[in-house]
Chain A
Amino acid sequence: MTLTTTGRPKREGPGPRRRPRTRTAALRRLRRLRRRLRSRRRPGRQAPTPATARTRAGRQLHGGPLTYAVLAVFTAGSLFPLVWTAVTASRDNMRLAKTPPPFWFGTRLAENTATAWTEANMGLALLNTLLVAGTVALGTVLFCTVAGFAFAKLKFRFSGALLLLTIGTMMVPPQLSVVPLFMVVAELKWTDQLQSVVLPTLVSAFGVFFMRQYLLEALPGELVEAARVDGASSLRIIWHVVFPVARPAMAVLAMLSFVQAWNDFFWPIIALTQENPTVQVALTGLGRGYVPDQAVIMAGALLGTLPLLLAFTLFGKQIVGGIMRGAVKG
């Protein structure tokens, strides 16, 4: 994590110099404080590294061939169903009803994908899911960062009780809310409209907790207080102090909530129909015999998974890091 300096570049103009406006003065002081904190932390962070590296070398043995073999088997098991999705999506239905099953790609991928795109409404479904997951990720990150900051660094009455309530809600299963939500959606005539899936998942208790845990450590209390002393309003503090510090965790939370929203299943299949589906709803329609062609079904599954797989190959390292960081603190 790096503390980025967000202050403005020094102005050389005569006007602002003669009359130092409190705002820029505050920012300058903030910057100085940050630099100090950074320089204080650097040596502290780096000093133990050689020591741990030495002990690690003693304990953290290199994996032997057996380790690699087992990992290879599990990796193959993890990837095989996905590869096979692509294999079956490139065949025709007749071939899938024969033994032995196909092991290599056929030639009908484009055709099957096109059929899935139009007949199973996958095109619309992808667009809808992109909208839903994007909005949910954005909303989750925004609201959870702000709430997490309040829980981590601000003093207010009932904060302890409210935090406990937040953690408690992580356990409430989605099944408990579907009946009333369905009644509300029916009342408002929101069936088949995307807001009925977006709104209930726009915030997440996990996100609040995750951001709180991160900011508790990553954001020095002095930084907030210094900004306060300089008369910065809370909104300014959020924008110029909290967001820059929280950025790595915000990115991770955004990715996690995007994946979750993309794969959300239970509520969407109740709130939406095949007329205006998300990917999961469209795939459910496929699985329940909407289109009888197995190869087309697999092409649909491939289409619905591909965007996330792509994101995984690009950001896999960050997602892995985020899950592991969330695990230690949670």
Chain B
Amino acid sequence: MTATARTPAAAGTPVPRPPRAQGRGAPGPWRSRLYRWDVRYTPYAFVAPFFLFFGAFGLFPLIYTGWASLHRVELASPDHMEWVGLHNYVRLLDDAFFWNALRNTLTIGVLSTVPQLLMALWLAHLLHYRLRAATFWRVALLTPYATSVAAATLVFVLLYGRDYGMVNWALGSLGISPVDWQNGTWSSQIAVSSIVIWRWTGYNALIYLAAMQAVPDELYESAALDGASRRQQFRYVTVPALRPTILFTVVVSTIGATQLFGEPLLFGGAGGQKGGASHQFQTLGLYLYEQGWFNFHLGRASAVAWTMFLILLLIAAANMLIARRLRKSH
């Protein structure tokens, strides 16, 4: 905090009262020097607080995590580090639970992202019509976004209860036998995904809506003149125009899915870090948490974190390739 308090002050010092003796306007030499200093260096002062915090809480930890991942570090004595080289990574690749977590992260990611974005696209299409109470629909669809992971998951745990949950009751009244949402592999993953879908569909719908509103009207007009139906207009005008936005949301949702943590943790109840009795919905985030704070291996947790980072970099690279392809094809 001290540094940030200092920077505006430093920027503030060169606010000189116009020296009375000099008369109006004509700046003295020291004043113009101060002024030049101000112009040249205050931009750095303006970005300094951000980069100070970013360096301390973003960049340094990122690098230090990589350093810690090459050491044996125990939770009880985090300042005692013993060099082990790549041992943590080797252990990771040997651990069946790591691969299980990676697989779960992938399947839950697909199960949550694909329906979520498709529904969001549909909702945005509907919201794009002229509607009565347009603001109400938008705000109402965004409310899940205001609900925290914890609160949302607690409700869904109750809704998905095996014996008395509302979902199974509804299924039962349709004549379908109850599903064990906690212990089945697919059922639990679908349940966890549904929490993600519930929280983020409205948000993504609004982002698509904003992009739709930016599509120039002339495109629709000429499409209509060419005799395109509304469905064809959606398919051949709206979707191509939205392509960058769709790519953007895919990337953001994928990043979110890679980090999935709170939903499976709380969905698992008391032993949540395991992600279910047989680790059936343990994600990489949970696996990291379990390694570090339940098995007390901070070094191995760091290795998991860096592996996640590498996966994200891969996703980013793939994204850039796809984006370049798209740009070329246009």
Q: Are B262 and A199 in contact (CB under 8 A)?
A: no
Given A265-B149, A327-B211, A59-B217 contact (CB < 8 Å): yes
Q: Which residue of A lies closest to B263 (CB)?
A: A265
Q: Which residue of A lies closest to B42 (CB)?
A: A234
Number of chain A interface residues as a range: 35 or more
Query: CB of A49 within 8 A of chain B?
Result: no
CA of A265 to CA of B286, assembled, Å? 13
Total interface residues on B, CB under 8 Å, equals 121
Contact with A along B252-276 (1 / 0, CB 8 A): 0001001101100110011010000
CA of A201 to CA of B54, assembled, Å? 9
Q: Are B150 and A233 in contact (CB under 8 A)?
A: no
Q: Are A52 and B217 in contact (CB under 8 A)?
A: yes
CA of A74 to CA of B18, assembled, Å? 63
- Min CB–CB distance A205 → chain B (angstroms): 7
Q: Are A71 and B262 in contact (CB under 8 A)?
A: no
The CB with the most chain B CB atoms within 10 A, among A200, A288, A289, A325, is that of A288
Q: Are B154 and A286 in contact (CB under 8 A)?
A: yes
What residues of chain B lie closer than 8 Å to A88, measured between beta carbons? Answer: 155, 158
Q: Are B259 and A173 in contact (CB under 8 A)?
A: yes
CA of A312 to CA of B135, assembled, Å? 12
Q: Are B140 and A78 in contact (CB under 8 A)?
A: yes
Q: Are B15 and A78 in contact (CB under 8 A)?
A: no
Given A75-B137, A324-B209, A327-B206, A235-B12 contact (CB < 8 Å): yes
Please provide the chain B residues from 272 to 309 with a CB less than 8 Å away from any CB of chain A in the complex.
Answer: 272, 285, 288-289, 292-293, 298, 301-302, 304-306, 308-309
What residues of chain B lie closer than 8 Å to A52, measured between beta carbons? Answer: 217
CA of A23 to CA of B15, assembled, Å? 11
Q: Are A174 and B147 in contact (CB under 8 A)?
A: no
Contact with A along B56-73 (1 / 0, CB 8 A): 111111101100100001
Q: Are A199 and B46 in contact (CB under 8 A)?
A: no
Query: CB of A172 within 8 A of chain B?
Result: yes
Given A228-B39, A312-B139, A328-B210, A81-B129 contact (CB < 8 Å): no
Given A55-B221, A177-B65, A317-B54 contact (CB < 8 Å): no
Q: Are B135 and A317 in contact (CB under 8 A)?
A: yes
What residues of chain A lie closer than 8 Å to B214, measured between beta carbons? Answer: 328
Please provide the chain B residues from 10 to 40 with a CB less than 8 Å away from any CB of chain A in the complex.
Answer: 11-12, 14-15, 18, 24-25, 27, 35, 38-40
Query: CB of A33 within 8 A of chain B?
Result: no
CA of A197 to CA of B128, assembled, Å? 39
Query: CB of A107 within 8 A of chain B?
Result: no
Please provide the chain A residues from 84 to 106 with a CB less than 8 Å away from any CB of chain B in the complex.
Answer: 84-85, 88, 96-101
- Min CB–CB distance B233 → chain A (angstroms): 9
Partner of A235, one of B15, B50, B79: B15
Known contacts A56-B217, A234-B38, A323-B207; 11 additional CB pairs below 8 A are A59-B221, A61-B130, A75-B137, A78-B140, A81-B152, A99-B169, A179-B305, A199-B56, A233-B14, A316-B138, A323-B206
Enumerate chain B interface residues (CB-CB to A < 8 A). 4, 8, 11-12, 14-15, 18, 24-25, 27, 35, 38-40, 42-47, 49-51, 53-54, 56-62, 64-65, 68, 73, 78-79, 119, 122-123, 126-131, 135, 137-159, 163-166, 169, 172, 198, 201-203, 206-207, 209-211, 213-214, 217-218, 220-221, 224, 230, 245, 248, 255, 258-259, 261-262, 265-266, 269-270, 272, 285, 288-289, 292-293, 298, 301-302, 304-306, 308-309, 312, 316
Pairs A–B under 8 Å by Cβ, sample size 26 = A20-B24, A71-B127, A81-B155, A88-B158, A101-B165, A143-B50, A154-B43, A166-B50, A172-B309, A173-B255, A175-B305, A176-B306, A176-B309, A179-B65, A179-B68, A181-B57, A200-B57, A202-B53, A233-B35, A234-B42, A234-B45, A287-B150, A287-B154, A288-B270, A319-B139, A327-B210
Pairs A-B, 6 closest by C-beta atoms: A177-B61, A316-B139, A63-B129, A283-B150, A324-B210, A150-B46
